[in-house]
Amino acid sequence: MDPVYRGLGRCVCCFWLAVAFDIVGLVVLLIGVFVNVFFYDLLIYAGAIVIFLSLIWWVFWYSGNIEVPPAELEDDVGLLKKDKGGISGAVRRLSSRVSSSIRNSLRRNGGPSGDSRTRAHRSAREPPGTPQVAVAMTTMNPHPTVSSVAGCDVAMPHTTTETLPT
């Protein structure tokens, strides 16, 4: 038998934390407004921030008390019925087959991973006739550029990168 929740619902702790944050924030804010202290602005901002943080507890309390019938949860938590027929069952089976075949082909081919072992394994499987692209980098200007910074002449070589077309 399901427990019966009255009044505040399931998340009573979150409710009382939200109320406590609201009360503390309001008290700190009102002290900052009406009491003559030199750090009144700090109290006003702190009270507003505490009231804002109480929203987190209100959201927890509200979302914890949302009730969803188990029939609507079937698709979300893996409680699928195996005897589902019709178009939705056929679409679900087709989708499952396509996604599992894609997943299996990625596992077989090494997948889109950045793992160095996978890359080395993939390059070892390439056929011997696969062309490789060579890239050459060199300094193009043999004469250094002289720039003057704060009265000091500094020789800086001008470097560029050149790549071959694929």
Other beta carbons within 10 Å of 18: 21
Q: Which are the contacts of 145, defined by CB distance < 8 A and separation ≥ 6? A: 155, 156, 157, 158
- The most confident of 17-21, 92-96, 117-121, 153-157, by mean pLDDT: 17-21
* Residues shown for the chain: 166
Range of the domain at 39: 12-67
Task: Give domain status of residue 33, yes or no.
Answer: yes
Does residue 166 fall inside a structural domain? Answer: no
pTM: 0.45
| pLDDT tens by residue, 97-147 | 888 888 888 777 765 555 555 555 555 565 666 666 777 666 665 555 555
Beta strand 145-149 with 152-156: parallel, antiparallel or unpaired? antiparallel
Rounded distance, CA 114 to CA 133, Å? 20
What does the block give as tokens for 67?
A: 């009730």
Looking at the domain assignment, is residue 116 inside a domain?
A: no
Within-domain flag for 92 = no
Q: Is residue 86 part of a domain?
A: no
Distance CA 147, CA 11 (A): 69
Give the count of domains, the chain: 1
